[in-house]
Amino acid sequence: MAAEKRVTFRSPWLPWALLAPQVVIIALFFFWPAGQALLQSLQQSDAFGTSVEWVGLENFRNLWNDETYLASFVTTAVFSVLVASLGLSLSLLLAVFADRIVKGSGIYRTLLIWPYAVAPAVAGVLWLFMFAPSVGIVSYMLREGGFEWNHLLNGNHAMALIVMAAVWKQIAYNFLFFLAGLQSIPKSLIEAAAIDGAGPWRRFWTIQFPLLSPTTFFLLVINVVYVLLDTFAIVDAATSGGPGKDTSILVYKLYYDGFKALDLGGSAAQSVVLMVIVVIFTVVQFRFVEKKVNY
C-alpha cells in the first residue's frame, strides 16, 4: 500500500493554516540558524568571530586529508549497526512480552521506561560511575570474576561500553513506542486469528508485526538518526573517543571540534558531511523500506 490516502479533503486555505505554526517556528529557529551554521563550513574564523576569512572548500579538503577522520567512518558504521539492531530487537522483544501479560504490566512498563527519564547529562556520569576503573562497581565485579575489564586501553572494551550505554537509553524509548503500537492493534483481530488456530508465534508474524510496521519504520528512521547524531554525550562521558581513536565516532569529532576546540569552520564542514549521510539514509529508507510497510 502506498503512503497516500485515498480519501482527502479539499480546501484552499485550511491546510496552509494548519501548517503555519510549525512552518513559522522551523523557519525562524531552524532554517535561518542552520543556514548560517552551514555557511561557516566555507569560512575559517577565530573563536569570537572577530576575524572571518572565506576559504571555500578548504575545510572539506582538510577533512579528506585527515586519515583519522576517514577511519572514524568505519568506527561509526560498526557502532551504528550494533546500536540500531540491538536497540530495536531487544525493545521489541520486551514490548511483545509486556503486551502479553496482564498482571503487573504497569509496573514493568514504568520500570522499563524510567531509564529514559535519566537526563543524558546524568546518565553519562552514571555509566562512568559504574565502569570507572577504580570505584566502578561493574568493573570491580568483572575483575573479581576474572575478566580483565579495561576500557581505557582495550578498544573493543571501550566500544562495548558505549554500545551498551547507547542501547540502554534507546531500549526505553523504543519500548515505549512499540508497546503503544502493539496496544493499538484491535484485540478482535488477535482473537479471530486465535480462533482460527494460530499460535502466538504465527500470530506475531502474520498480524502483530505487519500491523506494527508503521511504528517499526518510524523507530528505524529515528534510531538511525539518533545513533548518528545524538550519541555525542555518551562518548564524551564514557571514553572521550579513546583509547587512541577507537571510539571516535563522526558526531563526536564534530562536537569536539565545534565545542571544545572552537574550530567552527571544521565543525560546520563535518556537519554538512554528516547531514548528507543522514539524508541519504533516510531517503533510502523511505524509498525502499516504506514500500514494505502496511498502512
CB atoms within 10 A of CB 253: 26
Contacts 24+ apart (CB under 8 A), 118-127: 120/169, 120/233, 120/234, 121/233, 123/165, 123/168, 123/169, 123/234, 123/237, 124/165, 124/233, 124/234, 124/236, 124/237, 124/238, 125/237, 127/161, 127/164, 127/165, 127/234, 127/237, 127/238
Under rule CB under 8 A, which residues in 219-278 are in contact with other proteins? 221-222, 225, 229-230, 232, 240-245, 251, 254-264, 267-268, 271, 275, 278
Among positions 57, 81, 111, 284, the unique one binding other proteins when judged by CB under 8 A = 111
Residue from 159, 168, 223, 252 binding other proteins (CB under 8 A): 168
**What is the SS3 assignment for 45?**
strand
Cα(134)–Cα(132) distance, integer angstroms:
6
Give SS3 for 52: strand
**One-letter amino acid of 201:** W
Taking the least distance from each CB to other proteins, the nearer of 153 and 284 is 153
Question: Least distance in Å: CB of 2 to other proteins?
Answer: 10
Give the one residue of 71, 81, 153, 284 binding other proteins; rule: CB under 8 A. 153
Q: Which long-range contacts does 14-17 make (Cβ < 8 Å, 24+ apart)?
A: none
Which of 257, 99, 82, 97 lies closest to 163 in space, CA to CA?
82
Binder to other proteins among 64, 73, 114, 147 (CB under 8 A)? 114
Among 186, 202, 205, 292, the residue binding other proteins under the rule CB under 8 A is 186
Single out the residue of 83, 112, 163, 249 in contact with other proteins (rule: CB under 8 A): 112
Alpha-carbon span 290 to 217, nearest angstrom? 7
- For residue 56, give every residue at least 6 positions away whose Cβ sits within 8 Å of its Cβ, in sequence order, or none: 42
Query: Shortest gap between Cβ of 78 and other proteins (angstroms)?
Result: 18
Q: What are phi and psi of 11, to 5 degrees?
A: -165, 135
Residues 6 or more apart in contact with residue 242 via CB below 8 angstroms: 152, 158, 248
Residue 109 makes contact with other proteins by CB under 8 A: yes
Residue 152 makes contact with other proteins by CB under 8 A: yes
Selected from 78, 116, 160, 209, the binder of other proteins by CB under 8 A is: 116
Question: 243 and 152 in contact (C-beta within 8 Å)?
Answer: yes
Counting contacts by CB under 8 A, is residue 78 touching other proteins?
Answer: no
Identify residues 7-66 at the interface with other proteins (CB under 8 A). Answer: 7-11, 14-16, 18-19, 21-23, 25-26, 28-34, 36-37, 44-53, 62
Of residues 83 and 251, the one with the C-beta less far from other proteins: 251
If the CB atoms of residues 25 and 77 are measured against other proteins, the closer one turns out to be 25
The footprint of other proteins on residues 189-208 (CB under 8 A) is: 190-191, 194, 200
Of 61, 100, 202, 292, which lies in the binding site for other proteins, with binding defined by CB under 8 A? 100
User: How many residues sit in the footprint of other proteins (CB under 8 A)?
Assistant: 134
Shortest separation between residue 69's beta carbon and other proteins, angstroms: 12
